[in-house]
Amino acid sequence: MEAYKRWVRRNRDYVRQLSSLASGMTWLLPERFATSEIGPEAVSSILGMVTTVNEHIIETTPTSGVHTSSAETSFLPLSLCLTLLRDLETLIEVVAEQLYGEDKKWNLIALTEAAKVCVRLAVFRTTGYKLLLQGGETENLEHLDDLSPPGNMGHLRKPIQNQGLGVSHPQGLNSWNLEGRAMSALSRFGQNARMVSEPTWLRRVQQQQAILEPPAKIIRNPSLSTFLSEKGIRGGLFVTGETMFVLRPLIYVLLVRKYGTRSWFPWFISLAVDLIGNSMLSATTMSQDSRKDQHFQFSKSEKDEVKRRKLLWVLYLMRDPFFSKYTRRRLESTQKTVEPVPVVGFFAEKLIELLIGAQTRYTYMSGS
């Protein structure tokens, strides 16, 4: 596997061009594949998974002098597993429908969504309970300390290095009192004595090694109890809202499996879970006066993720039974209106056919 990684990284441009060419060739599949959706979907899924793995290898190319984390060096991190599941889920749905029928296909879809829930919850835990970007497929690089207010340091204050004397002392300690001057003098004496005893070449090698290999910063993610105790009520709202976002697709699939796609109950429950979960996330960023409850400060990427989730609500217009009763009728009436226009009518017809065809697949309209 390491040999394959080295080959991909050395030939990154060639690999990307080959992936683009292979994706374009899927449009030229033989006619015998047209009678079944399994063939084209299998080819597309395999190409998508190979492209995803290759892009991950290229993006995680180690840089000289920079230590990579264990998540970056592992061949299948959790975020990559989620992307591979997304590439594979459409094929799973098509195979399940061909083998078990329209009704029983929801069993395999539910198993797929359950696997995605487990992986996303694992990502949520291992990242220190930070907002899941792109459903967990993109790593959230924001540090937890950046999200904490300045007044919430408490016993977690880190020592400050005195640049002039080389003495570490806690924040708030007056370094100019008698004890501070004594400790500084002792430290300075010990440092000078060590420099005199060490040969010049050894000090030079140590300096070069310190420049080329900076000490790795160890970031320990908090446990759930620690996170909730530090963030208070708003931390609980954040964890609950993010958990609802993770569980929402599985809840929807299980309800559709029981009540069917024509029932309004799964549609309304899924929408309610989305709205309540988003409201909880919004509540965590609202300013408040209580000193115990620490509010969150989302980064730019996290704010963009919240906006992206709101945009996904448009997909409810494409889900049954809303689609069958309202959206499809509107699309068909629009098609009849623009049909006499030569160019516009042609493209509008193709677009509407594409939307109607995509609507028949849960994985195209799941928004997960």
Burial class of 340 by CB neighbour count within 10 A (0 to 12, 13 to 18, 19+): exposed
> Is 273 in a helix, a strand, or coil?
helix
Dist CA 124 CA 126 (whole Å): 6
Q: Which of 307, 311, 319, 309 is nearest to 358 (CA)?
A: 319
Q: In the chain, what's the furthest Cα-to-Cα distance? A: 93
pLDDT at 206: 53
Domain boundaries, the chain: 109-139+221-288+298-318, 319-367
Helix axes 300-311, 264-284, angle to 10 degrees: 160
Dist CA 246 CA 237 (whole Å): 14
With beta carbons less than 8 A apart as the criterion, state whether 85 and 116 touch: yes
Dist CA 146 CA 296 (whole Å): 10
With beta carbons less than 8 A apart as the criterion, state whether 222 and 144 touch: yes
Q: Which of 62, 69, 67, 74 is nearest to 220 (CA)?
A: 69
pLDDT at 112: 93
Q: Read off the pTM.
A: 0.71
pLDDT at 110: 93
Give me the count of residues in the chain: 368
pLDDT digit string (tens) for the chain, length 368 residues: 778 888 888 888 888 888 788 777 666 555 445 556 677 777 788 888 888 888 888 887 776 544 444 444 454 688 888 888 888 888 888 888 888 888 889 999 999 999 999 999 999 999 889 999 998 888 887 654 444 444 443 333 333 344 443 434 444 444 445 545 555 554 554 455 444 444 544 444 455 555 555 555 555 777 888 888 888 888 899 999 999 999 999 999 999 999 998 999 999 999 999 999 999 988 887 754 444 445 568 889 999 999 999 999 999 998 999 998 998 888 888 888 888 888 888 888 888 887 877 777 776 667 76
